[in-house]
């Protein structure tokens, strides 16, 4: 299993070694984060636990091409969609828009404290960034063939001039600003300055607005906010100005934005001495489960490490574990052990890892198809499943019950999904197991297993896939099998979403509640035609030999094409159930 790596943007703000660099001309390109990152090795926590995760949380929205902002130009409509204006109603009934802010949550605007009070007034990878200001349109729009403005237009527009970060020791603020700084300039502040001269009224700082820069993360660039405008004039031109650093207030931001966040000193564990081993219990999040040894519950074990509140039962290592997360520790059958040593067992069949592979579907050899007999004696192959052992296939319960009756045959022909479909090799089914919790109306517990009458003989063109068993993190780069208009299967990229984010999306659309054992994904690009039971997979690169191991992370259950959302069965939530059947 690949190691899980994390990238801490907040730490970047705290650990900067600041230096001064002269302003250059032309575009200010997105800068590198100077981190060893690979998209194929990035993971999203199943529960949000940090505020420096925008490059993971909104990866689909990141931009690939290099941006080319121009110096001092007016911003275009919708260019800075996260910007907000903060205003006060004056005595004449008019609103004074005196401050700016940044939308950092669905219902939170981040701004300077003095804006909210209305007092009338990560290691940063590159010491250059954009200041958010405002000024006259005519003084900031020049014709390249003239020496000045062509037309008089005093309209106030938003501006984005560049600025340089200054070391605090070299921060020469005008004396008039120090009266508002009770502790002087400290590590809470980010000091910056622009060019020495500026035409009057060209640019005024918008207090509380962001100091920002695009940073490359995982092959795409995302706009990062370094600080908020605090004190200064003329957007930092001529005289130094100050911003308030985010990194300095990271703990406060986490306490507001992360409902379950607790600093290490604030973590709380609840002990119920009336609960013994195997007693039914209720966790701190309201989920029901059993009291078991913490070693049988990887999720709660991780929650303890992450300083989250947990429910303890009687005894030092007995915890309340949700039913879906309990691991079976009884005697493991040979078939069940095949699930755990899958990567090494079939290593001889693994092909070379290709980060950019347009024909990736042609090298996927784990798909089978289920067949139903028609009235005229023909076999109709309706939906697919994925081999997880030599004799067991996993798919959605909806797929197995799609025709009203259970399937009678499985097409296990060698080759990729399209080859298997076109050259059927039927084998009979010994047993069909539908999850006992399956609800056809809500599609909850939408999973089933099929046991073949005879196990297959693994070959390089048909062998079992590995199961993603990690219950705390999900790979960021996923591939979802879909069909095009000609019913030819292909892969499309998907990126996992936090269930909390997806639940809000579904509520706004009037859809059903998302369950913890489901996995929601952002679909990259225009969604293809998905079929219930098709796989959602991750390609793991093995650094020792650059081979590729495929992991089944989810099974397609449903989706909302218009919103590019996919709803999938989360395989890691069913490992215990699968092993109990296998």
Using the predicted structure, report yes or no on whether residue 68 has a pLDDT greater than 70: no
233 and 363 both lie in a single domain: no
Q: What phi-psi label fits residue 201: left (phi over 0), alpha (psi between -120 and 50 degrees) or beta?
A: left
Helices (H), 83-132: 113-117
Q: For the residues of 188-219, what is the DSSP string, one character each?
A: TEEEEE--S---TTS-EE-TTPEEEEEEEETT
Distance, in Å, from the CA atom of 327 to the CA atom of 296, rounded to the nearest integer, reads: 5
293 and 433 both lie in a single domain: no
201 and 285 both lie in a single domain: no
Residue whose pair of structure tokens reads 């575009």 in the numeric block: 27
375 and 505 both lie in a single domain: yes
Using the predicted structure, report yes or no on whether residue 401 has a pLDDT greater than 90: yes
359 and 324 both lie in a single domain: no
Q: C-alpha distances in angstroms, 271 versus 268, 282, 286, 312, 347? A: 10, 12, 15, 5, 45
Band (pLDDT 50/70/90 cuts) for residue 284 is: confident
Lowest mean pLDDT among 266-275, 305-314, 352-361, 473-482: 266-275
Distance, in Å, from the CA atom of 211 to the CA atom of 365, rounded to the nearest integer, reads: 49
pLDDT value of residue 438: 95
Model confidence over 12-27: pLDDT tens digits?
A: 333 222 222 223 334 5
Using the predicted structure, report yes or no on whether residue 118 has a pLDDT greater than 50: no
Using the predicted structure, report yes or no on whether residue 355 has a pLDDT greater than 50: yes
Distance, in Å, from the CA atom of 255 to the CA atom of 62, rounded to the nearest integer, reads: 26
Using the predicted structure, report yes or no on whether residue 275 has a pLDDT greater than 60: yes
Using the predicted structure, report yes or no on whether residue 565 has a pLDDT greater than 90: yes
pLDDT value of residue 251: 86
Is the pTM value of this prediction over 0.95? no
Distance, in Å, from the CA atom of 252 to the CA atom of 353, rounded to the nearest integer, reads: 42
Using the predicted structure, report yes or no on whether residue 283 has a pLDDT greater than 90: no
pLDDT value of residue 337: 78
DSSP-assigned letter for residue 454: S
pLDDT value of residue 150: 59
250 and 371 both lie in a single domain: no
Q: What's the average model confidence in pLDDT over 182-208?
A: 84
366 and 233 both lie in a single domain: no
Cα torsion 259, 262, 263, 266: sign? positive
Highest mean pLDDT among 111-115, 305-309, 333-337, 403-407: 403-407
298 and 395 both lie in a single domain: no
Q: What's the average model confidence in pLDDT over 484-493?
A: 89
Q: What's the average model confidence in pLDDT over 57-85?
A: 67
Q: Which residue, 257, 289, 319, sits at the end of a domain? A: 257
* Domain extent for 574: 345-579
CATH code, domain with 158: 2.40.10
Higher pLDDT, 387 or 235: 387
Q: Taking Cα atoms as reference points, which of 447, 459, 379, 383 lies closest to residue 417?
A: 383
CATH code, domain with 303: 3.30.1640.30
Band (pLDDT 50/70/90 cuts) for residue 525 is: confident
Band (pLDDT 50/70/90 cuts) for residue 176 is: confident
Using the predicted structure, report yes or no on whether residue 476 has a pLDDT greater than 90: yes
CATH code, domain with 539: 2.40.10.10
Higher pLDDT, 494 or 28: 494
Number of domains into which the chain is organized = 3
pLDDT value of residue 25: 35
Rg (CA), the chain: 28
Whether residue 546 lies inside any domain: the answer is yes
Distance, in Å, from the CA atom of 299 to the CA atom of 311, rounded to the nearest integer, reads: 12
pLDDT value of residue 329: 60
pLDDT value of residue 556: 96
Q: What is the mean pLDDT of the chain?
A: 82
Whether residue 229 lies inside any domain: the answer is yes
Q: How many residues does the chain have?
A: 582
Model confidence over 304-333: pLDDT tens digits?
A: 877 778 889 987 789 999 887 787 665 556
Whether residue 566 lies inside any domain: the answer is yes
Q: What phi-psi label fits residue 109: left (phi over 0), alpha (psi between -120 and 50 degrees) or beta?
A: beta
215 and 308 both lie in a single domain: no
Model confidence over 412-468: pLDDT tens digits?
A: 999 999 999 999 999 999 999 999 999 999 999 999 999 999 999 999 999 999 999
Q: Which residue, 222, 257, 292, sits at the end of a domain? A: 257
Whether residue 246 lies inside any domain: the answer is yes
313 and 249 both lie in a single domain: no
Lowest mean pLDDT among 86-100, 238-252, 281-295: 86-100
304 and 394 both lie in a single domain: no
pLDDT value of residue 407: 94
Lowest mean pLDDT among 178-182, 233-237, 240-244, 260-264: 260-264
pLDDT value of residue 15: 27
Whether residue 286 lies inside any domain: the answer is yes
Whether residue 298 lies inside any domain: the answer is yes
Model confidence over 152-166: pLDDT tens digits?
A: 778 888 888 888 899
pLDDT value of residue 134: 83
Whether residue 360 lies inside any domain: the answer is yes
327 and 208 both lie in a single domain: no
Band (pLDDT 50/70/90 cuts) for residue 487 is: confident
Whether residue 232 lies inside any domain: the answer is yes
């Amino acid at each position: 299993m690949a190691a899980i790596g994390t990238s801490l943007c907040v730490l970047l703000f705290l650990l900067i070694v600041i230096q001064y660099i002269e302003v250059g001309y032309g575009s200010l390109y997105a800068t590198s984060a100077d981190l060893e990152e690979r998209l194929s090795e990035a993971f999203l926590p199943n529960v949000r636990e940090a505020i420096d995760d925008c490059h993971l949380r909104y990866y689909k929205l990141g931009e690939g091409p290099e941006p080319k902002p121009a110096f001092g130009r007016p911003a275009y409509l919708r260019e800075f969609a996260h910007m907000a204006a903060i205003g006060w109603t004056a005595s004449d009934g008019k609103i004074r828009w005196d401050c700016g802010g940044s939308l950092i949550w669905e219902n939170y605007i981040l701004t300077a404290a003095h804006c909210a009070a209305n007092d009338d007034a990560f290691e940063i990878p590159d010491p250059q960034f954009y200041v958010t200001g405002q000024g006259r349109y005519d003084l900031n729009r020049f014709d390249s063939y003239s020496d000045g403005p062509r037309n008089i237009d005093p309209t106030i527009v938003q501006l984005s001039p560049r600025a340089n970060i200054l070391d605090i020791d070299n921060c020469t603020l005008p004396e008039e600003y120090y009266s508002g700084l009770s502790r002087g300039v400290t590590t809470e502040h980010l000091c910056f300055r622009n060019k020495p001269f500026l035409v009057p009224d060209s640019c005024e700082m918008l207090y509380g607005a962001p100091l920002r820069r695009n940073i490359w993360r995982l092959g795409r660039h995302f706009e990062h906010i370094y600080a908020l405008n605090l004190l200064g004039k003329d957007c930092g031109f001529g005289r130094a100005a100050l911003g308030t650093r985010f990194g300095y207030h990271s703990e406060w931001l986490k306490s507001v934005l992360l409902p379950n966040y607790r600093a290490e000193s604030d973590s709380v564990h609840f002990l119920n001495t009336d609960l013994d081993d195997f007693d039914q219990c209720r966790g701190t999040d309201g989920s029901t489960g059993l009291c078991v040894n913490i070693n049988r519950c990887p999720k709660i074990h991780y929650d303890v490490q992450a300083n989250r509140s947990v429910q303890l039962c009687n005894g030092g290592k007995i915890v309340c574990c949700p039913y879906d997360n309990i691991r079976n520790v009884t005697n493991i059958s040979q078939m069940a052990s095949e699930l755990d040593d899958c990567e090494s067992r079939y290593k001889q069949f693994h092909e070379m890892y290709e980060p950019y592979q347009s024909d990736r579907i042609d090298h996927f050899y784990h798909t089978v198809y289920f067949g139903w007999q028609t009235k005229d004696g023909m076999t109709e192959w309706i939906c697919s499943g994925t081999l997880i052992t030599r004799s067991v296939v996993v798919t959605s319960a909806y797929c197995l019950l799609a025709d009203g009756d259970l399937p009678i045959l499985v097409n296990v022909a060698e080759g990729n999904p399209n080859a298997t479909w076109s050259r059927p090799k039927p084998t009979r089914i010994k047993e069909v197991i539908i999850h006992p919790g399956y609800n056809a109306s809500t599609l909850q517990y939408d999973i089933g297993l099929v046991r073949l009458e005879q196990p297959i003989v693994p070959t390089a063109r048909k062998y079992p896939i590995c199961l993603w068993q990690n219950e705390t993190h999900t790979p960021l780069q996923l591939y979802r099998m879909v069909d095009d208009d000609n019913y030819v299967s292909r892969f499309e990229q998907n990126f996992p979403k936090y269930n909390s984010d997806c639940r809000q999306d579904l509520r706004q659309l009037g859809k059903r509640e998302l369950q913890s054992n489901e996995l929601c994904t952002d679909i990259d690009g225009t969604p293809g035609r998905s079929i219930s039971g098709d796989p959602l997979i991750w390609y793991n690169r093995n650094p020792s030999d650059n081979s590729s191991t495929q992991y089944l992370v989810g099974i397609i259950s449903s989706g909302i094409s218009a919103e590019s959302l996919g709803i999938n069965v989360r395989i890691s939530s069913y490992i215990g159930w699968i092993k109990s059947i296998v």
